[in-house]
Structure formats: C-alpha cells, structure tokens
Amino acid sequence: MNKLLKEMIEHAETWPREDQEELAEYAREIEARRTGAYTMSDDERAAVGKGLAEADRGEFVSDELIAEADKRHEG
C-alpha cells in the first residue's frame, strides 16, 4: 500500500463516524468505476429494501402527483 494512503487511513480512524462513512463512499465509487460493480452501503441496501417492500404492497406515487412534479420541472 502507498505510504501516504496508509497514513491517511490510519489518521481517518480518528475521524467522526460520518466522515469515515463519507470516505468509504468515495472508495466505493472509485471501486465501482474500476470494476463496473457498485457495492451498496448498508443505508442504501435498507432504502432499496424499503422501496421494494412498498412496491410489493402496491404503494406507488399517484399519477396526479407525478403530473404536478412534471409541471414544476418543465422549461
């Protein structure tokens, strides 16, 4: 491992958790770019699971709400 990288990782261990998670997210993005495979974080995995469960229950946004959102974003 590169000496600078090793020192940064050791220093990052003293950072607050949210900063460590941000660094991990950057690393996941770099790995995804290099390999073509993105690894979801625990939070992302939970959010996807929640969305799939909502879809399984038939909980979708109404067509009317989508139409209103489209109107707000039209040029």
pLDDT of residue 75: 64
48/31 same-domain check: no
Tally of CB atoms within 10 A around 28: 15
CA–CA–CA angle 7, 10, 11 (5° rounding): 85
12/44 same-domain check: no
34/50 same-domain check: no
Q: Report if pTM > 0.95.
A: no
Q: In angstroms, how far is the first alpha carbon of the chain from the final one?
A: 50
Mean pLDDT (whole number) for 55-73: 88
51/71 same-domain check: yes
34/48 same-domain check: no
13/35 same-domain check: yes
Residue 48 belongs to what domain range? 40-75
26/7 same-domain check: yes
1/30 same-domain check: yes
How far is the C-alpha of 28 from the C-alpha of 43, rounded, in Å? 13
CA–CA–CA angle 42, 23, 8 (5° rounding): 140
pLDDT score of 63 more than 90:
no
- Residue in the block written with tokens 């993005």: 29
pLDDT score of 3 more than 90:
yes
Q: What does the pLDDT look like over 4-61, one tens digit per residue?
A: 999 999 999 999 999 999 999 899 899 989 998 888 888 899 999 999 999 999 888 8
